[in-house]
Structure 1
Amino acid sequence: MIERWIFLRDGRLSGRSKLALAAIFAVALIAAFPLRLALGLADPGGRGISAREVAGTIWDGGIGDLRVGALPLGDVAAHLRPLPLLIGRREVHIERLAGTGAPGDFSANAAGGDGWLSLSAVRGQVAIGDAFGTIPATALGFDDFHAELSGGRCVSAGGQVSLILSPFSELMPGPVALSGTARCSKAALYVPMKGPTGLENLFLRLEPDGRWRADLVLGGLPAEVTAPLLEAGFAARPGGIGISAEGKL
């Protein structure tokens, strides 16, 4: 390394040669930049992103057991996208393939900076375990979801978000999928979802301070289904019965 810098300082080199060599040196540093350091720069407080292991460079890396907040994304491949760099935007693409212990494929593009976050082309499913508390949800799904937050406030959002509910009664034939279109509502990220019959409704809201709330309302249920749910914590709501859950990212 010392010899390289001596070479650069050699007065016999032209200014153009020095610039070219400096550019090559800079490119070499960027090409070998560790993904682990990049992940740390993306989350300097260590509060939102965690992983079991990070390997490789920003151009070809892997992250084991990646978690973003309460969402476990599993083992993913990650790399910096070259085209956004042309406009000075550092954007990372992550991708998880089926067969890695998580439900189905998942991919997304993410960019961020001081006080802002952008997600785009988010597709696939994420298992959520008990992240929704009393609401019997098992997975979140995304289809061309995108959102941009600035200072925690929702600036733009779109695409489909779905929530898979596990059977909450022995009389139900199987899981229920609710889905809806994301949008911004009074600076919050808001997703109103409906189920297959139109009588299942869930309203998901993420506030600028990181607090979230989910309200599930079920209508048209027979009495033999409603009674056990009321005993399990559901309450009477306009149009049916419901239950709420809330937390903070």
Structure 2
Amino acid sequence: MIRLATGRRALFGALLAAALLLFVPLRAALGLTGLDDAGLTARQVEGSLWGGRLVEARFGAVALGDVGARLAFWPLLLGRARLELAGGGERPLHGAVTVSRHGMGIDGMTASLLTGQLFAPLPVTALDLDAATVRFRDGQCERAEGRVRATLAGAAGGVTLPPTLSGPARCDAGALLLPLTSQAGTEAATLRVTGDGRYRVEFALRNPDPATVPKLEAAGFIGGADGYRLGVEGRF
């Protein structure tokens, strides 16, 4: 007969610990792993850490909507908390948010994110991510890839804007840089994000109609050699 080297009490304790871990609420896991401190919040959190749901989730000031969420097991052994997200409906979302002692980021994120008034007075209503990966380590951008598209609505300074601006994500001098341009190339927005969540976006109009210049200046645009620019700063 084969005898287990582990005593019954030790085996029972291990099974009990595994059972408790299996049913740890997702809400508690967000706090224990530091994901909530990183800016991930929700009006309501349902289920366990291995399979739950975030209702009206937000990442900072950006709305994510209702998404399914599960904590990946193996990254925990490496000291990283990786929360895999998936949502459907009108604004599908798929990807992961990762937090560790030295940094945070998103992995393979494809999503349409409503920005609300985040970039006001610039009329940016949404940011669409296409397989975007962004990682910050010790406050410095160490990896950025994928494409981002900004959806615009209305006008700026009385000038009708194109429906979208798009471009690739990359790291630049320790910050995340999104150089977004219109299809015509006459409008552009450069979004720079630092590791603490602060951002600056500069919107540029190249060679605007001279008749619109007074309206642009009244809206805060500043003229230069390459057109008129308006800068907005804030924090996610």
TM, length-normalised to structure 2: 0.86
Check whether the contact 1:217–1:237 (CA below 8 A) recurs between aligned residues.
no
Q: Which of 126, 142, 151 matches 1:139?
A: 126
Aligned partner letter, 1:112:
V
Task: Give the structure 1 partner of residue 141 of structure 2.
Answer: 154
Matched, 1:30 2:21: yes
1:9 maps to none
Alpha-carbon spacing, 1:187–1:34, altered in 2? closer, same or farther (3 Å): same
Amino acid at match of 2:22: A
Give 1:86 deviation, angstroms: 7.3
Q: Deviations over 1:187-235 (max 9, x none)?
A: 1111111111011111111123432100000124333444433322222
Distance 1:189 1:47, change over 3 A: closer
State how far apart, in whole Å, the 2-side matches of 1:220 and 1:162 are: 23
Q: Which moved more, 1:46-55 or 1:80-89?
A: 80-89
1:239 alignment counterpart? 226
Residue type at the aligned position of 2:30: L
| Separation in structure 2 between the aligned mates of residue 85 and residue 39 of structure 1, nearest angstrom | 13
Q: Which has the larger radius of gyration?
A: 1
Q: Could you list the runs of 5+ residues in structure 1 that have no partner in the other structure?
A: 1-12
Matches within 5 A, 1:17-166: 18=8, 20-43=11-34, 46=37, 48-82=39-73, 84=75, 89-99=80-90, 104-166=91-153
The answer as to whether partners of 1:135 and 1:244 remain within 8 angstroms in 2 is no
Q: Which deviates more, 78-87 or 58-67?
A: 78-87
Q: Which has the higher strand share?
A: 2
Please give the alpha-carbon distance, in whole angstroms, between the structure 2 residues aligned to 1:167 and 1:196: 17
Change beyond 3 A, Cα 1:117–1:50: same
- Residues 20 and 237 (structure 1), Cα distance of their counterparts in 2 relative to 1, 3 Å cut: farther
Q: Percent identity?
A: 31
Deviation at 1:23, TM superposition (A): 4.0
Pick which of 237-246 and 218-227 moved more: 218-227
What is aligned with 2:176? 189
Q: Contact 1:80–1:90 (CA<8 Å) still a contact in 2?
A: yes
Is the alpha carbon distance of 1:47 and 1:91 closer, same or farther for their aligned partners in structure 2, counting shifts above 3 Å?
A: closer
Would the aligned equivalents of 2:96 and 2:106 in 1 still touch at CA under 8 Å? yes
Give 1:59's aligned amino acid: W
SS at match of 2:24: coil
User: Which moves more between the two structures, 37-46 or 212-221?
Assistant: 37-46
List runs of 5+ in structure 2 lacking aligned partners.
none
- Offset, 1:115: 3.2
DSSP 3-state at the match of 1:65: strand
Equivalent pairs counted in the alignment come to: 232
Cα distance in structure 2, aligned partners of 1:42 and 1:88: 10
Describe the shift of the 1:88–1:161 C-alpha distance in structure 2 as closer, same or farther (beyond 3 A).
Answer: same
Distance 1:222 1:187 in 2: 37
Distance in 1, Cα, partners of 2:68 & 2:88:
9
2:154 to 167, 186, 209: 167
Task: Give the secondary structure class of the aligned counterpart of 1:16.
Answer: coil
TM-score by length of 1: 0.82
Question: Could you say which residue in structure 2 is the equivalent of 1:211?
Answer: 198
